[in-house]
């Protein structure tokens, strides 16, 4: 699980570096916009994996610390 968390952190930082506003995205070149699709897809995939792993844990199961 540690590798998943590290990869999620790395990809999230990569996506965050793209910017966080329409003005920031507006300054990206066409090539940068196309290149951004891969890390965004990775972030979606990884976050969906984490969500599925969390959902698979039964809330009625034993408490974990």
What are the pLDDT digits (tens) for 3-62?
999 999 999 999 999 988 999 889 999 999 999 999 999 999 999 999 999 888 877 656
Which 8-state DSSP code applies to residue 58? -
C-alpha–C-alpha distance, residues 25 and 55, integer Å? 33
Helix 30-56 × helix 2-16 angle, to 10°: 150
Q: Is residue 37 part of a domain?
A: yes
Asked if residue 11 belongs to a domain, the reply is yes
User: What pLDDT, on a 0 to 100 scale, did the predictor assign at position 57?
Assistant: 85
Residue 60 lies in a domain: no
Whether residue 61 lies inside any domain: the answer is: no
Q: pTM for this structure?
A: 0.76
Q: What pLDDT, on the 0 to 100 scale, is given for residue 65?
A: 57
Question: Domain containing 12: what range?
Answer: 2-55
Per-residue pLDDT at 64: 62
pLDDT of residue 13: 96
Looking at the domain assignment, is residue 65 inside a domain?
Answer: no
Residue 12 forms part of a structural domain: yes
Cα(42)–Cα(59) distance, rounded to whole angstroms?
A: 28
Domain count, the chain: 1
Reading the block at residue 64, the tokens are: 């974990």
């Amino acid at each position: 699980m540690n590798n998943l968390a590290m990869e999620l952190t790395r990809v999230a930082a990569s996506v965050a570096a793209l910017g966080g506003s329409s003005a920031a995205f507006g300054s990206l070149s066409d090539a940068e916009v196309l290149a951004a699709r891969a890390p965004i897809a990775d972030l979606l995939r990884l976050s969906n994996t984490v969500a599925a792993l969390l959902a698979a844990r039964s809330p009625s199961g034993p408490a974990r610390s």
